[in-house]
Structure 1
């Protein structure tokens, strides 16, 4: 597949009264046409900051991109002026934010908010833009779009508002869609509908999607590849099968082990001990070392490189070094992997 986006050694910092926060600390990944890449990790790992950097939305002057490249169609958008970025934002790269109520202007009708991008980027007349806006509401599954388009955001339910936000993001047929935890504020039933909608839209539009989430259950159903972030770095990246069935980083083990499943018979959920490090003063060595029960002396001294597991799978852990002791994932992780495998087999059987 052709690459549509390449991120190289991206760093993002924020100046505060207490010092500089190193929110993203040199990440590398690419995105292929028509692919869904999920970026997962707990709060504060740098997921949302990464997407804001891709959109050119890092707040200035406090926020900076001191180094790195974001290559989109041969141009480094990390170094673009805001005026030039405005031509790309919304047209070529679009974003779905996690809270639809704060994403929509409560004082403007839905039609105005959808038409805005069409008129600005597509140079459509008001009448053509309105026709397209109605088509978009229909595409995202809102019934009676001709009537609903004249309404205000407060007249929609939470799930319907998120569909409106998706319609706005899709208005200009973007090549890349950034979805920042788009189902967080929704109940489980509506979450499933929104995820199904995004998969359906991707088939129709062939857009590439970067899906930000802390919910590994969501990842299994929507992503082609997964990047696991911790303390501003990508610590493991691979296909969905690589991450779920053959995880290599202890942090990924922790995330999988803390995932509840319907079939689980355990009384208590597994939790990763400790808290993420202070990114104003990142620790020496592996940032996960203090929370890693399998940490070795080298973990506190040197930062691990990305070790190659396979052509599609890489992980930054010293456990993959040829001289490291052989360590298996904890039993809680193995049980989760078995549950996921069993559920995946059931779903494949249902689909066939």
Structure 2
């Protein structure tokens, strides 16, 4: 059996619409090992959430179509599984944390009962008393004080950050092997975001749960990822360890994402970089590199041929013609280098030496 808990191979997801077929996910490949955190990052519309929902077989069919590929979880391909087979996996072996905790929680049911429901459903031969004890333990584990009292309360009695902690407790209730978190910190302020990120890191340390973390925020990625997949227009355009993506980025889209991150230490007069243009229409994907129209370094070949994944190292790959041996050397833009070097300096101040840019 593979050492990977999850392997996604050439996954293609389409949607039938009145305007035509939307090619939302176009040949995605990645893997996740037990106890590892993979962050999938990209702009809105890049295919991140469609990919995460596809892993749980939550794409409604129709209009969704699993056009091609495999989703191998613990050696089993989830794509051909029936809804009945998937209900045994969802919540039990793979759990999901959604972006908005209020839509994930039942407003008419006490918090404790919602957690108990998951335990009783997935952990057979568990008594109600045992389920209640475990639910209180989970409320405590996710950092909510006075868990016995909180057990009896309703979602509206909790703050946004505490509701998200309860959603995490529900996701952990059946002790899943894989946790998918779809932008779980987007609706929270930065202080609560940091607490939720720290909580998820603690969960990973104590339970060895694999995590797929979907986000558009590279600041979040820096704090939690082991590996990073950068998505654009339904494809993974760069893939590597967190250090490789942050300190040796190779794809112009990754440069754009890094350069457009706000930095509180920046001079107030310094303009925030942006990526010009917008993602392409995936009903009619462009010929060649999908990022070419927004890429200031695009060459003629970018408009004619889709680049392959070039290997940078054993763990680092990027889908750009700039890595072809015959391509001109294009250095990382100076503004992006400054931003990256700022991250390195902050890590050094925290006692972590991550080397030099490009190493």
> Where on the TM-score scale, by shorter chain, does this alignment land: which range?
over 0.9
Q: Distance in 2 between matches of 1:287 and 1:257?
A: 20
Q: 1:246 aligns with which of 245, 248, 254?
A: 248
Match of 2:324 in 1: 321
2:259 corresponds to 1:257: yes
Displacement of 1:349: 5.7
Q: Distance in 1 between matches of 2:45 and 2:323?
A: 26
1:28-67 deviation line (CA, Å, top 9, x unaligned): 0000111000000000000011110111100121011111
Match of 1:301 in 2: 304
Q: Which ranges of structure 2 fall in alignment gaps of 5 or more residues?
A: 354-359
Displacement of 1:244: 0.6
Displacement of 1:262: 2.5
TM-score by length of 1: 0.98
Alignment of 1:80-119 (within 5 A): 80-119=81-120
1:154-174 deviation line (CA, Å, top 9, x unaligned): 000001000000000000110
Alignment of 1:1-352 (within 5 A): 2-123=3-124, 124-265=126-267, 266-348=269-351
1:211-236 deviation line (CA, Å, top 9, x unaligned): 00111011011000100000000000
Secondary structure (helix, strand or coil) at the match of 1:199 reads: helix
Q: Which ranges of structure 1 fall in alignment gaps of 5 or more residues?
A: none
Q: Distance in 1 between matches of 2:168 and 2:351?
A: 28
1:262-306 deviation line (CA, Å, top 9, x unaligned): 322252100000000001111011000000000011101110000
Match of 2:356 in 1: none
TM-score by length of 2: 0.96
Q: Which runs of 4+ in 1 moved over 3 A?
A: none
Residues paired across the two proteins, number: 350
User: Contact 1:118–1:172 (CA<8 Å) still a contact in 2?
Assistant: yes
Q: Distance in 2 between matches of 1:258 and 1:349?
A: 24
Q: Distance in 2 between matches of 1:60 and 1:148?
A: 39
Q: Distance in 2 between matches of 1:14 and 1:114?
A: 34
Displacement of 1:184: 0.6
User: Contact 1:261–1:339 (CA<8 Å) still a contact in 2?
Assistant: no
